[in-house]
């Protein structure tokens, strides 16, 4: 036998296929599956949230909100805010529990509604508030979340999101890198709707408390001057852009023909800036 | 922000990886043509050949090739759905052929290479946890030289 050194004409060890087509099919399939699972389980959470009693809510909050509840608080401002919210709650909003308010020493411009009827207001936000009406609108916004039970929906969905992204996609070679931002986008889109609804609740509440809605957009206008993320950067934000919120609130004011009168000055206890 | 960086790396992996792969295949084919007449077999005894056996020695060739973000993404998706990981096939194919070529280049005067063995291992095993994995292929055999 003589050795013949011929090279094979084709490479049988490599599949001839379009990789772009392959990756597109796989990604579309994955998105469809994940969003179907997320949507169905999300509906399940919405259903379960309606059935939860205030007691169950409270026990959930102590388990989950530990870190937030453990942040350093400002006692004086907390007790002032507590009285203020009690006045609002008694006069204008019917909730199955008494809301607790804490002022938290934190530079973040934020207020959070936690399950169990707790509102955390960050000192960074209080520093930027210039009138009592602004504060009422912010607290009204959080009370609106309680009314719509968004705090529970939000938490349920956040947990769901975590479970899907870590269990289904964890450690599989970078798929989570491309998928996570889109899951977060879907989540933040959902929460943006909730935020707009809470803004509408806050407006109703301000109208009920003061008889007018003066100063409703002041806080957002102040924030707009300070920082407006680019359209690109806003893609994944959980709240609507400030400019959009201002437009929405003004539309609602026109729709319900709410009056706007002079705002009340902020109590001197609250003047942080 | 993470998404933009990740997508950039994937796109970079696709274009740069593709062009490097194409140039590597060109080089492999050219060199394989050069060594086409060198018998390379897995048998333990040399093929019958005229002339006296004057020398024999161990030859080996080793290659390490890295995956890119694009290949890793496809493989990650395949981990979920199952199926042929075509993005890794070219990687293994290139590493194997390159190793055999390097082994042959170690002894250009060889009449035959017998007892060829090919082994593989992954250098970064935890490719899923942030780092990019790579494959090592080592080919070794005995070069025999007839007068």
ipTM of the complex: 0.77
How big, in percent rounded to 5, are the helix, strand and coil portions of chain A?
65, 5, 30
DSSP letter assigned to residue A265? B
User: In whole angstroms, what is the distance from residue B120 CA to residue A3 CA?
Assistant: 28
DSSP codes, A205-243? HHHHHHSS-TTTTHHHHHHHHH----TTGGGG-SS--HH
Confidence label for B29 from pLDDT (cuts 50, 70 and 90): very high
Interchain contact, A178 vs B2, CB within 8 Å: no
pLDDT higher than 70, residue B127: no
Measured between beta carbons, which residues in chain B are less than 8 angstroms from residue A26? 74, 77-78, 81
Residues in chain A: 273
DSSP codes, chain B? -HHHHHHHHHHHHHHHHHHHHHHHHHHHHHHHHHTTTS-B---SSPPP-SS-EEEEEEEEEEEEEE--HHHHHHHHHHHHH-S--HHHHHHHHHHHHHHHHHHHHH-TT-SEEEEEEEEEEES-S-TTTTSPPEEEEEEEEEEEEE-
User: In whole angstroms, what is the distance from residue A223 CA to residue A138 CA?
Assistant: 13
Kindly state the average pLDDT of the residues B111-129: 81
pLDDT higher than 60, residue A171: no
Please check whether residue B11 is in contact with residue B69, taking contact to mean a CB–CB distance below 8 angstroms.
no
Interchain contact, A17 vs B127, CB within 8 Å: no
Question: What is the side-by-side strand order in the sheet with A100-104?
Answer: A100-104, A118-122, A111-114
Nearest-Cα distance to chain A for B77, in Å, is: 6
Q: How far, in Å, are A155, A273, B119 from residue A50 at the CA level?
A: 14, 40, 61
What confidence score (pLDDT) does residue B140 get? 97
User: In whole angstroms, what is the distance from residue A137 CA to residue A141 CA?
Assistant: 6
Chosen for mutation from A173, A181, A184 (greatest number of chain B CBs closer than 10 Å) is A173
Lowest-confidence region among A43-47, A99-103, A138-142, B68-72: A43-47
Nearest-Cα distance to chain A for B75, in Å, is: 7
> What percentage of residues in chain B have a pLDDT greater than 90?
61
Residues in chain B: 147
User: In whole angstroms, what is the distance from residue A251 CA to residue A253 CA?
Assistant: 5
pLDDT higher than 80, residue A3: no
What confidence score (pLDDT) does residue A238 get? 62
Highest-pLDDT range among A70-74, A204-208, B57-61, B121-125: B57-61
pLDDT higher than 60, residue B126: no
Residues of B engaging A, defined by a Cβ cutoff of 8 Å: 2-3, 6-7, 10, 14, 29, 32-33, 36-39, 47, 69-70, 72-81, 84, 86-87, 89-90, 92-93, 127-129
Interchain contact, A178 vs B10, CB within 8 Å: yes
Lowest-confidence region among A19-23, A87-91, A115-119, A176-180: A176-180
Confidence label for B131 from pLDDT (cuts 50, 70 and 90): low
Kindly state the average pLDDT of the residues A62-70: 69
The three-class DSSP label of residue A94 is coil
Nearest-Cα distance to chain A for B61, in Å, is: 20
Residue B2 φ/ψ, nearest 5 degrees: -55, -35
Per the prediction, chain A carries an average pLDDT of 78
Kindly state the average pLDDT of the residues B63-91: 87
Chosen for mutation from A177, A185, A188, A235 (greatest number of chain B CBs closer than 10 Å) is A177
pLDDT higher than 90, residue B145: yes
Q: Which helix (H) or strand (E) holds A63?
A: helix A54-64
Lowest-confidence region among A155-164, B17-26, B130-139: A155-164
Please check whether residue B142 is in contact with residue B115, taking contact to mean a CB–CB distance below 8 angstroms.
yes
């Amino acid at each position: 036998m003589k050795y013949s050194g011929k090279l094979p004409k084709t490479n049988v060890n490599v599949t001839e296929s379009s990789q772009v087509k392959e990756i597109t099919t796989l990604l579309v399939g994955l998105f469809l599956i994940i969003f179907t699972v997320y949507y169905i389980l999300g509906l399940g959470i919405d259903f379960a949230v309606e059935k939860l009693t205030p007691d169950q809510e409270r026990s959930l909050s102590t388990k989950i909100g530990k870190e937030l509840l453990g942040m350093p608080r400002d006692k004086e401002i907390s007790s002032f805010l507590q009285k203020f919210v009690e006045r609002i709650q008694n006069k204008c909003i019917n909730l199955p529990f008494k809301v607790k308010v804490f002022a938290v020493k934190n530079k973040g411009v934020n207020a959070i509604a936690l399950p169990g009827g707790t509102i955390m207001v960050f000192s960074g936000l209080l520093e930027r508030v210039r009138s009592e009406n602004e504060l009422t609108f912010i607290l009204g916004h959080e009370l609106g979340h309680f009314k719509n039970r968004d705090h529970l929906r939000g938490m349920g969905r956040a947990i769901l999101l975590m479970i899907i992204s870590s269990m289904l996609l964890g450690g599989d070679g970078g798929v989570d890198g491309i998928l996570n931002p889109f899951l977060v986008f879907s989540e933040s889109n959902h929460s943006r709707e909730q935020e707009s609804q809470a803004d509408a609740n806050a407006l109703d509440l301000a109208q009920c408390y003061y008889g007018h809605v003066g100063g409703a957009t002041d806080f957002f206008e102040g924030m707009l001057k300070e920082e407006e993320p680019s359209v690109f950067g806003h893609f994944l934000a959980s709240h609507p852009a400030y400019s959009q919120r201002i437009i929405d609130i003004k539309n609602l004011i026109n729709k319900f023909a709410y009056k706007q009168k002079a705002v009340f000055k902020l109590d001197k206890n609250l003047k942080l800036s | 922000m993470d998404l933009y960086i990740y997508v950039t790396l994937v796109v970079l992996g696709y274009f740069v990886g593709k062009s490097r792969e194409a140039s590597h295949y060109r080089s492999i084919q050219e060199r394989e043509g050069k060594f086409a007449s060198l018998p390379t077999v897995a048998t333990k005894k040399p093929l019958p050949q005229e002339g006296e056996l004057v020398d024999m020695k161990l030859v080996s060739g080793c290659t390490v090739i890295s995956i890119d973000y694009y290949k890793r993404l496809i493989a990650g998706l395949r981990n979920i759905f199952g199926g042929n990981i075509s993005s890794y096939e070219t990687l293994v194919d290139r590493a194997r052929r390159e190793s055999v070529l390097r082994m042959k280049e170690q002894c250009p005067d060889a009449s035959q290479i017998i007892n060829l063995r090919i082994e593989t291992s992954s250098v970064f095993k935890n490719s899923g946890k942030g780092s990019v994995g790579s494959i090592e292929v080592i080919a070794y055999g005995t070069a025999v030289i007839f007068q």
